[in-house]
Amino acid sequence: MKDLTQFVNCKILRDHKIIREDLWVRNGQVVDPEKVFFDEKIKANIIVDCQDHLIAPGFIEVQINGGMGFDFSYHDNTEEGIDAVAKSLLSHGVTSFCPTVVTSPKEIYHQILPKIKRRKGDRNGATILGVHAEGPFINKDKKGAHPENCILEHDGSLSTLEKTYGSMQNIKIITLAPEFPDSCKLIKQLTNNDIVVSLGHSTADLAQGEDAVNCGATFITHLFNAMLPFHHRDPGLVGLLTSKNIPKDKIVHFGIIADGIHTHPAALRIAYKVHPEGLVLVTDAISALGLHEGKYKIGQLDIDIRDGKAYVAGTNTLCGSIATMIECVKFFMEATACGPEFAIDAASFHPAKLLGIENTKGTLSFGADADFILLNDNFEIDSTWIAGQKVWMNQDINH
């Protein structure tokens, strides 16, 4: 029989509420203590005193380009980079993530994508849920930090994407611009293959966005960034947050970078007030995450980190953040005055729901994977756990 662990002296975020209750874990999953008491009539053989900390679901990062000096879109040292970032993410409270590959030459995709395989997390790093391919089927007019010479138009066929990427086996999310012909045809094919379609780096108007959502798109890549600005006569992709022309039971999720740089606090408040259930916190972190100011890479482009911001080298074009997920959660709480329940959900349950894994990830419901973090009263991460095992501990906090 597997060890039965009881986490005591704690609060738990469960079903969007913070409650005072013990957490029971066995075989890497959260278990119902009533069944243990009444059916099995046994007690826990491992007791963990949580020192009155909050137990919350581990964060899920669906857009991160790299970190620790490594860029996922650069073909050298792919596996080493994935391993280094996966391990460093544990200290940020991230227990699962989607490594993001930005617009790149075809040969780069063919080299990199087969190397970024899905895998379960442990003390060596966070779980890999699949690649987020951000491009190359985007609009050159909203390229941001994506190299224009690598941007492509699709013809609505899945075979075109397969030729470009080489293999789509490891891809979970694709960001594309929906304004091109036959986008709906392509979106339907992708969603039928269990790939999440995200709309971004786009000049699409609201009607084009609505068509894409009705064909299966469920996500918007970094809301407000690399899209048409909100206009009262045609709000563009931003208008999807309040559209009446999509099914009422369909949630359009949207990523938002709450790093204090990419999105103004007032814009964060607008998104939160208008469509809270779709809000997904992302970092869009780049290779300089965890490093000092200097020169780095994002895909094929050189970047500068100066004054705490990341720019395409020699320009004032922002190109991703260097913020951690816990920093984004804290900043979002401060900017919106939301409670910790919502801010944590936006970094855990909401991305899990986007990916269709909300029964096992991003939640502490019975039967879910025991991926969670312990937070102290200062909202500092005390420790990170995957499958009920401690995979990281904050040495700066007295235990």
Which domains are assigned to the chain? 4-56+362-393 (2.30.40.10), 64-355 (3.20.20.140)
Q: Assess whether 284 carries a catalytic annotation.
A: yes
Provide the H-helix boundaries in 193-296. Answer: 206-214, 265-274
- Mean pLDDT computed over 344-353: 98
Nearest to 354 by CA among 109, 175, 210, 126: 175
Query: Catalytic one among 284, 304, 345, 369?
Result: 284
Q: Which of 74-78, 119-123, 156-160, 278-282 has the lowest mean pLDDT?
A: 74-78
Rounded percentage of the chain residues whose pLDDT exceeds 90 = 80
Query: Are 102 and 146 within 8 A, CB to CB?
Result: yes
- Residue 318 pLDDT greater than 70, yes or no: yes
Peptide bond into 136 cis (omega under 30): yes
- Residue 346 pLDDT greater than 70, yes or no: yes
Q: What is the predicted pLDDT for the residue at 355?
A: 98
> Is 320 one of the annotated binding-site residues?
yes
Strands 11-14 and 17-20: antiparallel
Six token digits for residue 227: 């899209």
Query: Are 243 and 210 within 8 A, CB to CB?
Result: yes
> Is 291 one of the annotated binding-site residues?
no
Rounded Cα–Cα distance for residues 254 and 246 (Å) = 15
The model carries a pTM of: 0.94
Q: What is the predicted pLDDT for the residue at 61?
A: 98
Amino acid at 394: N
Rounded percentage of the chain residues whose pLDDT exceeds 70 = 97
Neighbours of 148 (CB within 10 A): 9
Backbone angles phi, psi at 113, to 5 degrees: -60, -40
The three-class DSSP label of residue 173 is strand
pLDDT band at 398 (very low <50, low <70, confident <90, very high): low
Q: For 351, what's the count of Cα atoms within 13 Å in the CB-facing half-sphere?
A: 31
Six token digits for residue 57: 């679901």
Rounded Cα–Cα distance for residues 38 and 160 (Å) = 57
Nearest to 80 by CA among 107, 132, 115, 122: 115
Rounded Cα–Cα distance for residues 101 and 310 (Å) = 17
Neighbours of 101 (CB within 10 A): 28
For the segment 206-251, what is each residue's pLDDT rounded down to a tens digit?
A: 999 999 999 999 999 999 999 998 888 899 999 999 999 999 999 9
Higher-confidence position of 396 and 298? 396
Query: Are 143 and 110 within 8 A, CB to CB?
Result: no
pLDDT band at 42 (very low <50, low <70, confident <90, very high): confident
Six token digits for residue 349: 């349950």
- Mean pLDDT computed over 53-57: 98
Six token digits for residue 99: 């490594």
Q: What is the predicted pLDDT for the residue at 395?
A: 87
Six token digits for residue 61: 């990062």
Q: What is the predicted pLDDT for the residue at 299?
A: 67
Q: What is the predicted pLDDT for the residue at 293?
A: 76
Q: What is the predicted pLDDT for the residue at 305?
A: 80
Angle at CA 338, nearest 5°, toward 256 and 308?
45
Q: What is the predicted pLDDT for the residue at 197?
A: 98
Rounded Cα–Cα distance for residues 368 and 231 (Å) = 42
The chain-wide mean pLDDT, for the chain, equals: 93
Q: What is the predicted pLDDT for the residue at 127?
A: 98
Nearest to 94 by CA among 69, 121, 68: 121
> Is 222 one of the annotated binding-site residues?
yes
> Is 262 one of the annotated binding-site residues?
yes
> Is 285 one of the annotated binding-site residues?
no
Q: What is the predicted pLDDT for the residue at 321?
A: 77
> Is 4 one of the annotated binding-site residues?
no
- Mean pLDDT computed over 92-96: 98
pLDDT band at 160 (very low <50, low <70, confident <90, very high): very high
Query: Are 5 and 26 within 8 A, CB to CB?
Result: yes
pLDDT band at 372 (very low <50, low <70, confident <90, very high): very high
Neighbours of 71 (CB within 10 A): 27
> Is 318 one of the annotated binding-site residues?
yes
The three-class DSSP label of residue 96 is strand
